[in-house]
Structure 1
């Protein structure tokens, strides 16, 4: 079967999926290990039986709305490619604001930075890649997630980053950081149910938090004080409707210079505060 014939067949399967043509070309590119430009130029290339079998399996998974990133096992973030699996959340463009704001707070001297709930390591690695003079630590609860983050750091040959397992701060002993960043779970169970179609393939532990989505955020804001140097910064990603409550929590625990930043869609997404005493 030629590429153009399989594309036509695939389009009938994914006719209700947004951007289905792009998805089909990405799947072809991934399976054939060719750039999309090649796929477009060589539509008369004959797919062999093995290639068709792999493509059809991926096509069915995409039909059931499994994210493309999980099918091809990679996602671009901060102009870097990250290996992902269904053990980790898929990096999203809005989280680049967290990286951007963190980098703006780093001076020329060597900073120590902590990423809480690192997932595939996209935030920690993006900071480490951008600031080779800084030392970045990423923590996550699950060993298999830490292995993925470490793999992504090794792929980029980064020497200024390390990862280990910790339930938030529990395994971080006698350490202080200039910056702590986190994209923690912040959905309530009710919010998760309303978004379940889009999120059902992603790890639920990285999405839902108790206390109407605030439990983990409150814990981080409260205890980060013990792990920040004086004048150190805490930056947290959160739901776009949570701004007012997040700012209240920062101020309750005596952070100064509290400010919220918008994501690429103009929604309140990142709040930062500075330790002062």
Structure 2
């Protein structure tokens, strides 16, 4: 019978920047153990059934399937979230949006709406840090709403409300202090859509018309009607779209328009404050 150490040594041919880490995550998942357990017990024996399960996942990873979909889990802002092919995989870049939101001078009971919430990652991260905020999220896909609600229960953040809505179509409340969104922003036909993890993620959550700007423009246009005076809109976008999104925010009357960079130093989040009418 093979040991943990033997099994990991035999894992090869994985794509991406962290093949060793991916193999460890997959083996830990098959064993039902935390990844740290592998380092503590490298001589532990791996059963034939577990090895077979691991090899199956390993082959799927070799074919490019994201690790998060293989395990059904992804950590975001220290929250253990369930993920599924019906939603985007939460990424570290989006934590830049969460950081900015938490730095804003909002009231203690701020009303916050996450548009296109997917797995609920942004909404739940904000609620975990600001329990008194009244946080909600919407998504046009019923499967995403169900997943976000499940994650709220998993994270013991059941105060966060999720509902089905195509952007603002079923949002009745107004006067939000903060609107946040990670909308589709990849241009149709972008070469990256046929590469890496993006091949397996839902295209409807990735692709937007007008060179990736249609949904960003729609949100910037509609948001003022749903914000209180001085309320904020924060939008995630592509690394090369910062200038275009700042122009959109300015066009629709936002003030204090700015852009934040992600950990790679790329323009990633742009936002602004609604001025008083």
What TM-score does the superposition give when structure 1 sets the normalisation length? 0.94
Cα distance in 2 for residues equivalent to 1:137 and 1:210: 27
Q: Do the aligned partners of residues 273 and 47 (structure 1) sit closer, same or farther apart at CA in structure 2, a change above 3 Å counting?
A: same
Q: Please give the residue correspondences for 1:1-277 in structure 2 after superposition, counting only pairs within 5 Å.
A: 1-2=1-2, 3-11=4-12, 13-14=13-14, 17-191=16-190, 193-198=191-196, 199-276=198-275, 277=277
Cα distance in 2 for residues equivalent to 1:43 and 1:159: 39
Cα distance in 2 for residues equivalent to 1:18 and 1:226: 43
Name whichever of 123-132 and 67-76 sits farther off.
67-76
Secondary structure at 1:200's aligned position in 2?
Answer: helix
Aligned pairs, number? 274
Deviations 1:132-152 (A, max 9, x none): 010111000111111111111
Deviations 1:134-174 (A, max 9, x none): 01110001111111111111112114310000000000124
Q: Do the aligned partners of residues 275 and 67 (structure 1) sit closer, same or farther apart at CA in structure 2, a change above 3 Å counting?
A: same
Cα distance in 2 for residues equivalent to 1:108 and 1:232: 11
Query: Could you tell me how far 1:265 is from its partner in structure 2?
Result: 0.9
Mapped contact 1:134–1:160 kept (Cα < 8 A): no
Deviations 1:30-73 (A, max 9, x none): 11112223223333333223212211110111110111111111
Cα distance in 1 for residues equivalent to 2:195 and 2:17: 14
Cα distance in 1 for residues equivalent to 2:225 and 2:149: 26
Query: Could you tell me how far 1:254 is from its partner in structure 2?
Result: 1.0
Q: Do the aligned partners of residues 130 and 174 (structure 1) sit closer, same or farther apart at CA in structure 2, a change above 3 Å counting?
A: closer
Mapped contact 1:183–1:236 kept (Cα < 8 A): yes
Cα distance in 2 for residues equivalent to 1:38 and 1:236: 39
Cα distance in 2 for residues equivalent to 1:106 and 1:161: 21
- RMSD, matched Cα: 1.5
Mapped contact 1:133–1:160 kept (Cα < 8 A): no
Deviations 1:88-143 (A, max 9, x none): 11111110111111111143421000000001011000001100010111000111
Mapped contact 2:174–2:228 kept (Cα < 8 A): no
Secondary structure at 1:152's aligned position in 2?
Answer: helix
Query: Could you tell me how far 1:221 is from its partner in structure 2?
Result: 0.4
Secondary structure at 1:50's aligned position in 2?
Answer: helix
Structure 1 alignment gaps of length 5 or more:
none
Mapped contact 2:136–2:160 kept (Cα < 8 A): yes
Structure 2 alignment gaps of length 5 or more:
none
Cα distance in 2 for residues equivalent to 1:251 and 1:236: 13
